[in-house]
Each structure stands twice: as structure tokens, then as C-alpha cells.
Amino acid sequence: MDLASWSKNLFSSKSLSTLFLILIFAIVGVILNYMLLWPSANVAHSVYIHGNVSRLPKYGRDKFYNISQDIFLLHSDKDDLADLVAGGKTNRNRANLKPCPETPPGLIGKITINARNFTESVTNDDSLRRVVYGGRYSPDDCVARERTAIIIPYRDREDHLDILTRHLHNILQRQQLEYRIFVIEMALPTQFNRGLLANIGFLFAKETGDFSCFIIHDVDALMMNDKNLYRCGSQPRHLVTGSTKFRTWNDEYGLPYGSYMSGVIALTDSQFTQANGFSNVYFGWGGEDDDFTNRVQRANMKFERPEKDIGIYLAIPHETDSTNPKNPARFGILDASAARQTIEGVNSFYNNRQKIKYKRYAIEYRRYYTWILIGVNEAAITKQYEKYLGEPFAV
């Protein structure tokens, strides 16, 4: 065929429509590819939002769009979607794997933490790459001896949270744990309430996955020895034996008093439930931790600690938080602790007559942790338990 007749043929209406069809298929193909494949590779996390954006702390507001009543937004890659559908349980077939060794082989012992940026000197970004959205990890080559939920009562300490989550991912992977980090944040304008957030975090973790151990963790506490295994015991465990913020008489890192159990504690589901969790009525700073010590004791349990030099923590220095002022009524509320033990605690969020109402404004599967935003009505809770708050000015 000579060139002239070839080009004539090409521009005949039959060839043109064939070309046109090919073009359409190509365009549709590209669009389909874009719709089906692109989202599974690029989307950051899943969000559901109930309610009003003004409830969010300042740094979170601009990230949300499309707000209306009870909207449900889900962005997810495929693994994460499976994870959501499975309620956070991994459905990988691990029948052939052996249990991880009793003593994890990769531990270092005493950890050096860089005082300028608070990162561990052996920090390895590989550990961050291995984390699944929502802050979840499970060892590849063995079955973890503990499935640990880390629960961080939280508000507005972004810098601490960034430091702590990196620190934990690095170390908990060396400890060969299966774990997930939950950050439970309290919506404004309510005063901070650490106990209530711990309870809700515990229940949320139980709902999300199959955990054998629950660790309530301050956002500013960094373990300084990786032999401090984030596992539970036959009794509730206080994982802190000393903190850089408390010095003993001979200038060692210590605790302020013997029964002190703040900072980091580890309990099984049944231990936490037996103590009926934390009291929910301490708004502002102080009291909820000593109250919990009493609850554990009254439930015939006792806090145990690791060896003295293993439970040392670096306390990241900070100022007082404006929405967590010292609670002047805390001593009186603590006096009435026994009277409240069975009537309020973690059972306050089950369906019963004494139920405490709360709202779950948002849940996000973020890159290094799962974040939930909780709202409660402080005045309503205080009114609900007014008979059980002791003498307001007891000292």
C-alpha cells in the first residue's frame, strides 16, 4: 500500500471510529486505574467524626472537612481496612510460628537518651516503618508472649506524644511484643480527667483488639532500660521504680512515697475490672492515682514493681497545663474513695442506671497511634456523684 492510500484509509470514517474507541478505552482505563488503585496506596488514615469541630484542640481543626451530624469518613489502605473490619485483630495465619523466646534476644539494657531531642541513641527508623496505621505492630517471626495495649490519657502535648511514640515503637519491637498505642484525648472545655480517660481507653482497646495486657502510660515518661518489659503479671504492676523528677536522700532516682503508682502501670483485663478501674470524678490534677491504689488494695491485689535499676524513667520536663489545674477538692474526694468503689469506675460506661454519658467525637487511625477524642460534661458528672465527693476542703 502506498503512503497516499494508507493515509486516506486511516482517515476513513471506519478507522477513525476505531481510533476513537481505542482512545475512549484508554481514558476509561486510566480513570478506573486511578479510582481503584490510587486510594489503596496513598490514603493516610481513617476518621469518623461525630459533632462539632470547635470541640477539637486547636491543632486538629483544619484537618477536618465535610462536617455534619454523624458523618462517617473512612480512608484506608487495604490492610488497614481488613484491620478495621476485623476489629483490630490480625487475621494472618500464624499457626506455624513458634512463641517468641521468654527473654527477647535483642535487648540492650540501660538506654542512653539524647538530652536535647529525647531520642534513644540507637533509634532506628526501621522500627517506624514496620508500624501499621493506628500504631500497631506484631513480630513477623514468632508469636508474641503478650498482646499489649498502651493507653495514653492525653491533651495538647504534641511534642511529648511525638517523642514517646517513637521511643515506644523502637523499644517494644525489641521486646518482641504485639502491641498497639491508643491516645485518648479529652475535648475542650472540660478540665482534664486522667482516670476517666484511662477507663474509656481500656474499654476502647478491648473493643478494638484482643489484648492480654493494658498499660496506662503518661505521655511524658520514657523508659530508660529496655529490660523493663511491657508485660503483665499475676498482680497489677507499677513499672516505675524511679524517675528523673524524684531524687532520693542519697541522690538516686526514686519515687515520692512508697505507695506511689503514677506514671506507668500494667494490668490484665481481669485485674483492671476487679478494681473497677479508675474513679471518674477527679477533674484537674491529682488524686486519681492514689484512689486507684486504694481500689487495687480493696480488691485484694497489690502493685508489684520490676527490679530497682530496671524501672527508671526519664520525665520530660514541662510546665503546668492550663486546663489541668490542681484540684483543691482532691483530698476530700479521696476520703470518700471506698464509698464509690462499686458505684463508679470502669463499670460506669456499661449500660446501667449509674451510667456516665460521654461522646466519642472522633477516631483516627494515625500513622503511629490510634487517636480518640472524648467529650464529657464535668458539671453533670459532679452533680451525679455529689453525695460521694467527701468534704470539699479536707486536707
Residue 342's alpha-carbon distances to 276, 352, 387, in angstroms, are: 7, 12, 14
Q: At what angle do helices 3-10 and 13-42 cross, to 10 degrees?
A: 60
Nearer to Mn ion, 220 or 291 (CB): 220
Which residue number, 185 or 220, has a Cβ lying nearer to Mn ion?
220
As measured in angstroms, the least distance from the Cβ of 157 to ligand UDP is 5
153 binds ligand UDP (CB under 6 A): yes
> What character string, x for contact with ligand UDP (CB under 6 A) and - otherwise, covers 292-321?
-----------------------------x
Query: How far apart are CB 168 and ligand UDP at their closest, in Å?
Result: 13
For residue 80, CA distances in Å to 92, 179, 341 come to 13, 15, 38
Q: Helix (H, G, I), strand (E, B), or coil: what is residue 12?
A: coil
Question: Do 167 and 120 meet the contact criterion of CB atoms below 8 Å apart?
Answer: yes
Q: Which residues contact 73 (CB under 8 A, 6 or more apart)?
A: 46, 47, 48, 49, 66
Length of the chain: 395
Judged by CB under 6 A, how many residues of this single chain contact ligand UDP? Answer: 16
Among 180, 194, 237, 295, binds ligand UDP (CB under 6 A): 194
Residue 262: contacted member of Mn ion, ligand UDP, none (CB under 5 to 8 Å, by partner type) = ligand UDP
Residue 283 binds ligand UDP (CB under 6 A):
no
Alpha-carbon gap, residue 225 to 46, rounded angstroms: 34
Cβ-contact 378, 390 below 8 angstroms = no
Compute the half-sphere exposure of residue 388: CA atoms within 13 Å on the CB side of its CA.
19
Q: Is 195 in the site for ligand UDP (CB under 6 A)?
A: no
Q: Is 190 in the site for ligand UDP (CB under 6 A)?
A: no
Nearer to ligand UDP, 163 or 381 (CB): 163
Among 118, 192, 272, 361, binds ligand UDP (CB under 6 A): 192
Binding site residues, ligand UDP, CB under 6 A: 152-157, 192, 194, 218-220, 262, 285, 321, 323-324
